[in-house]
Amino acid sequence: MFTGIITDVGEVLRVEMRGDLHARVGTTYDMDTVDLGASIACNGICLTVVDKGQGWFDVDISAESIAKTNIVQGNVAWPVGTRLNLERALKLGDELGGHIVSGHVDGVAKVVSAIEEGESTRFVFEAPEGLARFIAPKGSVALNGTSLTVNDVEGCRFGVNIIPHTKENTTWQAVKAGDIVNLEIDTLARYVARLKDFEA
């Protein structure tokens, strides 16, 4: 489990396709404190550490993860130099500063617009129709692994505001209209909708 509070911005150092996709990610985490087999969310995707060294860790990425996320854009999978929002898995007793995030990305959303509002940036996204019903005003979503509060919803479009601190400490400072981001809907919304389906 994760909280959607980004604790490092990593960088793709190497990618290789052999059966599955294999990637090396640069990080400032103290890798002595990260066990092999530990989970790290990379742009919101829960990935397992399969090898590590000081300043880097390796992950294997399945075809399912590639199909559901923004890893591949323009037929290129995570070009070297791609910056990633990173979060280590939640430990018992850690502060839950965002919301409960599983790291299981549901799909992708497209950035419709990014407009400066005071010191913040207001982003509008378009979600797939099948996921839009789980997004509600004042509810939570994880976008590229970042826990964000939904301001408003209109059809398949929804808006969030990103404050300067978040932009400065994540990859959001580089996100622009037309970009594709990973979307994980709120776990509670998923189960509420499932209960309603049974009641119907």
List pLDDT tens digits, range 57-74.
999 999 999 999 999 987
Q: Is the residue at 93 inside a domain? A: no
For residue 67, give its domain range.
8-88
197 vs 26, more confident: 26
Residue 129 has pLDDT above 70, yes or no: yes
Answer yes or no: is 164 within a domain: yes
CATH number of the domain enclosing 139? 2.40.30.20
Of 4-18, 64-78, 116-130, the range with the lowest mean pLDDT is: 64-78
Residue ending a domain, choose from 88, 118, 147: 88
Q: Is residue 166 part of a domain?
A: yes
In the predicted model, is pLDDT for residue 191 greater than 70?
no
136 domain residue, yes or no: yes
In this model, does residue 200 exceed pLDDT 60?
A: no
Question: According to the model, what pLDDT value does residue 124 have?
Answer: 98
Final residue in a domain of this structure, among 88, 122, 149: 88
Percent of the chain with pLDDT over 70: 96
Give this prediction's pTM.
0.92
Question: Does residue 194 share a domain with residue 144?
Answer: yes
What are the tokens at 71? Answer: 């890893």
Total number of domains in the chain: 2
Same domain, 192 and 138: yes
